[in-house]
Homo-oligomer: A and B are copies of this chain.
Amino acid sequence: MIGAIKVISGTAHPELAEAICKCLGGDLCRTTVLRFSNENMLVQINENVREADVFVIQPSCPPVSDGIIELLMTIDALKHASAGRITAVLPYFPYARSDKKDRPRISITARLMADLVQTAGADRILTMNLHSPQVQGFFRIPADQLQAAPILCDYLRQSRDLTNYVLFAGDVGESKDVGHYAARLDLPIAIVYKRRSGDDEVARAR
């Protein structure tokens, strides 16, 4: 029932989508994205996608909100065009850091995004290095999370001499992640314990 793979690029990062297509050895599925004078967008899929196994590539890049709406419209268009399976490829998942209620009466927006993508019609999510591993529990559709660490560590080892390096966690929350890199690179770690105060995004180490 699911036919050939089709890769669609949103406007967020066409170079990434093209690089992926190059690896896969095919062309991007042609689409049109228009923006009318009232800022409303129109997303049109220009090829038959019936039964196709479609991957929509749209990491969260500025302009962020436009990228999200365009993503949802693309998925919706694909569903109604009878795509066989729709995978949203979101290497940087939108609002991944809004994963908890650290102030009263706010939205856990990463969860909201997961629900919106599912409502639009995605069958699966493909993402990378979520801000916290718990975010994977926000999805009810299968969500594969890729890890960049192996590639990054290989690169670090090949590009420089790591003797006498110390991995540095700028924040207690990052210490677990840094620990994974430390184990992989066999390096010691240091942790800065700081507290964030106010909305000015400035933290104070102590």
Interface residues of A (CB under 8 A from B): 1-2, 34, 36-46, 49, 62-66, 68-69, 72-74, 76-82, 84-85, 94-95, 97-112, 115-116, 119-120, 124, 132-140, 142-145, 172-173, 175-176, 179, 183, 189, 191, 193, 195, 199, 201
Contact = CB atoms under 8 A, between A and B. Distances in A.
A44 B106 contact: yes
Minimum-distance CB pairs A-B, first 5: A134-B134, A100-B133, A65-B65, A45-B105, A111-B137
A105 B44 contact: yes
A104 B48 CA distance: 9
Contacts of A107: 43, 73-74, 76-77, 80
State the number of copies, please: 6
Contacts of A1: 1-2, 84-85
Contact of A99 (B64, B80, B134): B134
Contacts of A41: 65
A51 B75 CA distance: 22
Contacts of A68: 65, 69
B136 A95 contact: no
A121 B40 CA distance: 23
Contact of A106 (B37, B77, B112, B144): B77
Given A65-B63, A115-B119, A175-B193, A135 B134 contact: yes
A193 B201 contact: no
A80 B81 CA distance: 26
Given A39-B64, A80-B108, A175-B191, 5 more contacts: A40-B109, A80-B139, A111-B137, A116-B120, A191-B191
A143 to B, nearest CB: 7
Contacts of A179: 172, 193, 195
B82 A46 contact: no
A85 B51 CA distance: 12
